[in-house]
Amino acid sequence: ALITLRQLLDHAAEHGYGLPAFNVNNMEQIHAIMQAADAVDSPVILQGSAGARSYAGEPFLRHLVAAAIEMYPHIPVCMHQDHGASPGVCMRSIQSGFSSVMMDGSLLEDGKTPASYEYNVRVTRQVADIAHACGVSVEGELGCLGSLETGKAGEEDGHGAEGELDHSMLLTDPDEAADFVQKTQVDALAIAIGTSHGAYKFSQKPTGKVLRIDRVKEIHARIPNVHLVMHGSSSVPEDWLAIINRYGGDMGQTYGVPVEEIVEGIKHGVRKVNIDTDLRMAATGAIRQHLAEDRKNFDPRKFLKEATKAMSAICKARYEAFGSAGMA
């Protein structure tokens, strides 16, 4: 059944677990996520970006999600819109039937210029008023995602602030978070604690702690009833990186967020964990490997099935690590 983000995260908070939110654009990704959830009995958050909507086409995306819900009636599914750059994008998602929307007012509509606090409050509040009247949940974001080492947002071709970021923007302030939630009435709050989007998060293999979990604790202590969201939470699997490069790919050496640090965040109020890059890498690696090893194959179902299997294994591992397995 389709349920709201609020319902899912209230349950997660009550039982002390976190939920991965995987980005979806096509049938194979949705298959992978649903098969894994079915295998371990986890609730599901599917999230679509504006880019996903233009890739698949709004009716295709809508019907793919409807198909997932029809095929797995026993699994609670939230359909969430990722990184709405304007109230208009959020309104179109509500019209399309999404049960949750993210208004990302931390950046202006261009998706790269850091916005003022007042702008963020205004647009997020506007979306929350309308979404809540429609029974739809809202996620907001306060702070700018980016590396604490370099002050850079990370992803070059997607979401993320351009240029060098002021250090204070890279860590969400607990008092400002409390004021923001009170003024906007969001159901969930994405915070900046040192993660960034895309594959190139850390250039060195993380030894100690790479995230500011101490800041998560401070924010959670200040607003204990607010569900916290971690974006940029792919772990960038080393095995898939090696497979991609072994079979003709050319990705640079890079490291992601260790799963153990996410689990630490979940102990302190993180309830939604956004993951896109990990599934992209698993799919690409599996397809490259299949096509290299079975050079006579020209049936796309064979390599797409390998991609689905690879993505599903990651979904299952995250459901288990974050504690959502058994919670459907």
Quick one: 100 or 277, whose CB is closer to ligand 13P? Answer: 277
Please pick, from the candidates 276, 283, 315, 321, the single residue that binds ligand 13P as defined by CB under 6 A.
276
Please pick, from the candidates 8, 21, 23, 85, the single residue that binds ligand G3H as defined by CB under 6 A.
23
List the one residue out of 40, 49, 48, 47 whose CA is nearest residue 17. 40
Distance CA 310, CA 195 (A): 24
Distance CA 327, CA 319 (A): 10
CB of 28 to ligand G3H, least distance (A): 15
Please pick, from the candidates 82, 187, 261, 278, the single residue that binds Na ion as defined by CB under 5 A.
82
Whether 156 has a binding-site annotation, put simply, is no
Distance CA 53, CA 73 (A): 24
Distance CA 255, CA 202 (A): 5
Q: Give the footprint of ligand G3H on residues 196-215 (CB under 6 A).
A: 197
Residue 110 is among the residues annotated as catalytic for this protein: no
Relative orientation angle of helices 174-184 and 213-222, to the nearest 10 degrees: 50
Binding-site partner at residue 308 among Na ion, ligand 13P, ligand G3H, none, CB < 5 to 8 Å by type: none
Whether 284 has a binding-site annotation, put simply, is no
Q: Give the footprint of ligand 13P on residues 6-45 (CB under 6 A).
A: 23
Site string for Zn ion, 215-234 (x = CB under 5 A): ----------------x---
Residues 6+ apart with CB under 8 A from 186: 124, 128, 138, 139, 140, 180, 226
Q: What is the Cβ-side half-sphere exposure of residue 188, based on CA atoms within 13 angstroms?
A: 36
Whether 141 has a binding-site annotation, put simply, is yes
Distance CA 105, CA 35 (A): 34
Asked if 83 touches ligand G3H (CB under 6 A), the answer is yes
Please pick, from the candidates 125, 231, 288, 318, the single residue that binds ligand 13P as defined by CB under 6 A.
231
- Residue numbers at the binding site for ligand G3H (CB under 6 A): 23, 49, 51-52, 82-83, 158-159, 197, 276
